[in-house]
């Protein structure tokens, strides 16, 4: 018979606790063995430490200190080591059928002895030792994630780990085949952790899992209602933009566009509400980006007083720069209630829509410093959905409307109000198959004092005014029609 009897013990009549001196009960695997001293034997329930064990029931013998003892190991944890290998083999076979293959297994001491680097990211270690439920750990490249449970059990039935729990009995005669229980179908949860850590896995709802994936940038957030982001001159781009306050709003419009474009809008619109002030958008301007979904992105300042919310390009331009450019996007952008202007050096557009993009505007003010104030190119569509005003001349003899390459500009049945003495190289220009629809417009304010060519249509392009006549557009010089263009 195999026994363990190193050291001496102290026992107390009526107490289930045995205290050792010079003992090493944890590493000797004595749990489940038979403790005996002075002719009395009691099974061991658990091992607390190298010098403390708890018996199955209180010690019925005499109180003694420094007494000799013996622990029979036939039914102890040590005897389970052989069974561990059999059980572990069954675990590994079953996991392999599920497509999960650990790189190695053993105790946490074995795991600590591994030398892993960033190149070993994803390394799977299966903890398999006596008295501990099977569990996975995953190497992140710098540390271990886990434990991730493997063992499962049912009340009154067997388990496929080596420990029992409340209402669960270890079935040594008919153990279940180990499986990875990653989800609970009864309450629609998935095992994981709501925050980083090495604690036990938690039951996460599908909403929690979705939120974690969105926060980690693994998927787009899906809107279930319209959303508004706020931009203020006292905001910060480190905020979430969801509150109209200095401590919650974004600082830049581009940040709001970037966050809006990261969403799946589903069927809902995203509004970017800009507070009063002047926003320096540099020598790059604002760049529209596509979101996923059918919703539009609406950029709004103050529709009653657009001059109080200014979007201004500045600096030296490298190439063509626009206050807002939308190029080959599926998402429709709408601009409202702002003044667009430029103090920069180089070719500057106000609104620029290119390719498959569609850009709508209303209640904006077109200010000074823009070479081509409203431009659509290469199939892009630019539409005035409401009235707007013009307070600045085009720079360098430029254009107010410029449609090129099959693009479309629609300003129909709207009021365009002018302020000040303004001049344009040409007010309306359409070329290379483009179309400008401009019927039914009311030109108000100082429209009568505008100077420059009224229109220029060329290369099979069209300006459609529903027969309003040659002096329909503002300006003091006659328009031109060349190379198959039509002014009708």
Same domain, 443 and 414: yes
Q: Is 253 helix (H, G, I), strand (E, B) or coil?
A: helix
Same domain, 251 and 392: yes
81 within a domain of the structure (yes/no): no
pLDDT of residue 248: 97
453-482 pLDDT, tens digit per residue, is 999 999 999 999 999 999 999 999 999 999
Q: Which residues contact 355 (CB under 8 A, 6 or more apart)?
A: 327, 328, 377, 378, 379, 380
pLDDT of residue 82: 44
Same domain, 275 and 174: no
Tokens 């013009």 locate to 390
Same domain, 332 and 277: yes
How many whole angstroms from its chain centre is CA 299? 22
Strand partners, 280: 312
pLDDT of residue 4: 83
Whether the Cβ atoms of residue 423 and residue 396 lie closer than 8 Å to each other = no
79 within a domain of the structure (yes/no): no
Would you tell me how many other CB atoms lie within 10 Å of the CB of residue 319? 8
pLDDT of residue 469: 97
pLDDT of residue 173: 37
Q: Which residues contact 46 (CB under 8 A, 6 or more apart)?
A: 31, 53, 54
Burial class from Cβ neighbours inside 10 Å (0-12, 13-18, 19+) for residue 19 reads middle
**Domain span including residue 171:** 166-205
pLDDT of residue 212: 74
pLDDT of residue 287: 97
pLDDT of residue 198: 63
Same domain, 290 and 439: yes
Phi and psi at 137, nearest 5°, equal -130, 140
Same domain, 135 and 175: no
Phi and psi at 403, nearest 5°, equal -115, 125
Residue 174 pLDDT more than 60?
no
186-228 pLDDT, tens digit per residue, is 566 666 677 766 666 777 777 777 777 767 777 788 999 999 9
Task: Report residue 168 as tokens.
Answer: 């669960």
Whether the Cβ atoms of residue 439 and residue 463 lie closer than 8 Å to each other = no
Residue 278 pLDDT more than 80?
yes
Most confident of 43-57, 189-203, 273-287: 273-287
pLDDT of residue 177: 36
Whether the Cβ atoms of residue 271 and residue 242 lie closer than 8 Å to each other = no
Task: Report residue 258 as tokens.
Answer: 């970037």
Whether the Cβ atoms of residue 452 and residue 426 lie closer than 8 Å to each other = yes
94 within a domain of the structure (yes/no): no
Same domain, 134 and 231: no
CATH of the domain at 13: 2.40.30
89 within a domain of the structure (yes/no): no
Angle at 298 between CA 296 and CA 303, to 5 degrees: 145
Q: Is the pTM of this model over 0.85?
A: no
Residue 1 pLDDT more than 70?
no
Nearest Cα to Cα of residue 307 among 278, 273, 270: 278
Same domain, 417 and 320: yes
- The model's confidence at residue 129, banded by pLDDT at 50, 70 and 90, is low
439 within a domain of the structure (yes/no): yes
Same domain, 59 and 128: no
159 within a domain of the structure (yes/no): no
- Greater confidence (162 vs 305) lies with 305
Q: By mean pLDDT, which of 2-11, 204-213, 395-404, 434-443 is the weakest?
A: 204-213
Domain count along the chain: 4
- The model's confidence at residue 487, banded by pLDDT at 50, 70 and 90, is very high
Most confident of 46-50, 109-113, 409-413: 409-413
Same domain, 236 and 124: no
Average pLDDT over the chain reads 86
51-104 pLDDT, tens digit per residue, is 999 999 999 999 999 999 998 876 555 454 445 454 555 555 444 444 456 788
pLDDT of residue 93: 47
Please give the full DSSP string across 263-289, using - where no structure is assigned.
SB-TT--EEEEEPSEEEE-TTT-EE--
33 within a domain of the structure (yes/no): yes
Would you tell me how many other CB atoms lie within 10 Å of the CB of residue 83? 13
pLDDT of residue 159: 40
Angle at 150 between CA 147 and CA 152, to 5 degrees: 125
Nearest Cα to Cα of residue 147 among 97, 108, 205: 108
- Greater confidence (29 vs 150) lies with 29
Mean pLDDT on 425-435: 98
Residue 382 pLDDT more than 70?
yes
Sign of CA dihedral 244, 247, 248, 254: positive
Task: Give CA–CA dist 337/339, Å, rounded.
Answer: 7
ω into residue 147 within 30 of 0, thus cis?
A: yes
Same domain, 385 and 418: yes
Residue 443 pLDDT more than 50?
yes
Nearest Cα to Cα of residue 429 among 405, 450, 458, 452: 458
Same domain, 186 and 280: no
Mean pLDDT on 113-119: 89
Whether the Cβ atoms of residue 337 and residue 365 lie closer than 8 Å to each other = no
């Amino acid at each position: 018979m195999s026994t363990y009897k190193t050291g001496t013990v102290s026992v107390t009549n009526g107490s289930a606790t045995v205290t050792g001196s010079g003992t090493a009960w944890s590493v000797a695997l004595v749990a489940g063995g038979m403790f005996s001293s002075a002719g009395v034997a009691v099974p061991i329930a658990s091992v607390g430490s190298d010098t403390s064990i708890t018996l199955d029931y209180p010690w019925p013998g005499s109180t003694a200190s420094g007494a000799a003892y013996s622990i029979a190991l036939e039914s102890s944890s040590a005897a389970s080591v052989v069974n561990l290998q059999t059980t572990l083999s069954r675990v590994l076979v079953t996991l392999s059928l599920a497509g999960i293959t650990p790189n190695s297994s053993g105790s946490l001491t074995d795991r600590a002895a591994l030398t892993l680097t960033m190149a070993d990211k994803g390394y799977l270690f299966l903890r398999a030792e006596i008295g501990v439920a099977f569990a996975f750990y995953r190497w992140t490249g710098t540390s271990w994630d886990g434990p991730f449970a493997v063992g499962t059990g049912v009340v009154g039935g067997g388990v496929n780990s080596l420990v029992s729990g409340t209402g669960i009995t270890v079935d040594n005669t008919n153990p279940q085949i180990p499986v990875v229980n990653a989800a609970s179908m009864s309450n629609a949860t998935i095992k994981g952790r709501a925050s980083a850590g090495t604690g036990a896995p938690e039951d996460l709802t599908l909403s929690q899992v979705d939120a974690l994936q969105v926060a980690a940038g693994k998927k787009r957030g899906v809107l279930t209602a319209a959303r508004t982001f706020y931009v203020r001159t006292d905001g910060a781009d480190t905020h979430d933009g969801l509150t109209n306050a200095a401590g919650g709003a974004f600082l830049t419009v581009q940040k709001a566009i970037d966050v809006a474009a990261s969403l799946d809008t589903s069927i809902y619109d995203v509004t970017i509400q800009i507070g009063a002030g002047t926003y320096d958008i540099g020598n790059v301007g604002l760049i529209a980006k596509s979101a996923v979904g059918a919703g539009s992105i609406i950029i709004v300042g103050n529709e009653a007083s657009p001059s109080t919310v200014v979007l201004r390009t500045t600096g030296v331009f490298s190439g063509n720069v626009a206050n807002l450019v939308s190029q080959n996007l599926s998402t429709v952008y709408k601009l409202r209630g702002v003044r667009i202007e430029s103090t920069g050096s180089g070719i500057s557009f106000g609104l620029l829509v290119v390719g498959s993009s569609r850009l709508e505007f209303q209640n904006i003010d077109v200010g000074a410093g823009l070479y081509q104030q409203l431009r659509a190119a290469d199939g892009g569509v630019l539409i005035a959905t409401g009235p707007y005003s013009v307070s600045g001349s085009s720079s360098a003899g430029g254009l107010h409307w410029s449609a090129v390459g099959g693009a479309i500009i629609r300003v129909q049945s709207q009021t365009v109000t002018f302020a000040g003495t303004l001049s344009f190289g040409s007010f309306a220009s359409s070329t290379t198959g483009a179309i400008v629809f401009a019927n039914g417009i009311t030109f108000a304010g100082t429209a009568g004092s505008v100077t420059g060519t009224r229109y220029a249509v060329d290369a099979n392009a069209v300006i459609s005014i529903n027969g309003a006549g040659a002096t329909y557009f503002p300006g003091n010089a006659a328009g031109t029609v060349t190379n198959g263009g039509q002014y009708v």
